[in-house]
Amino acid sequence: MIVELTQTWYLVLAALIFAIGATGLVIRRNPLVMFMCVELMLNAVNLTFVSFGNMLDDVGGQVFVFFVLVVAAAEVAVGLALVVAITRRRQGATADDLSLMRG
């Protein structure tokens, strides 16, 4: 069975990746993995932007992707710095241990 590769499938794929990322973010405890999950979610969104840009024949979708990439890069820089700082202080820390801000 040959299925025609319509643009809908891109959106379905994006939704799947986003769901995987979101689930991973909630269930995993390792900060590093959680970061990777956030990246997954961001890239899923990027995929939808590109798809819709193609569908609507609008270059804006692709432009937005660049913005997201830049922001993601910045966020990773900050996030990794945080992870390094945390692991220096305590060995084998998980995200759940870092609940100093509890009310």
Tell whether residue 90 is a contact of another protein (CB under 8 A). no
Which has the closest alpha carbon to 50: 64, 40, 35, 37?
64
Amino acid at 102: R
Of the candidates 1, 2, 78, 96, which one interacts with another protein according to CB under 8 A? 96
The pair of three-digit structure tokens given for residue 71, joined into one six-digit string: 């922001």
Output the smallest distance, CB 10 to another protein, in A. 19
Q: Are 41 and 32 contacting, i.e. CB atoms less than 8 angstroms apart?
A: no
Region of 49-57, 61-69, 70-78, 90-98 interacting with another protein (CB under 8 A): 90-98
Residue 40: helix, strand or coil by DSSP? Answer: helix
User: From CA 38, how far away is CA 20, in angstroms rounded?
Assistant: 10
Region of 2-10, 19-27, 51-59, 72-80 interacting with another protein (CB under 8 A): 19-27
Q: Are 17 and 47 contacting, i.e. CB atoms less than 8 angstroms apart?
A: yes
Tell whether residue 102 is a contact of another protein (CB under 8 A). yes
Tell whether residue 34 is a contact of another protein (CB under 8 A). yes
Tell whether residue 92 is a contact of another protein (CB under 8 A). no
Q: Which residues bind another protein (CB under 8 A)?
A: 22, 25-27, 29, 34, 95-96, 98-103
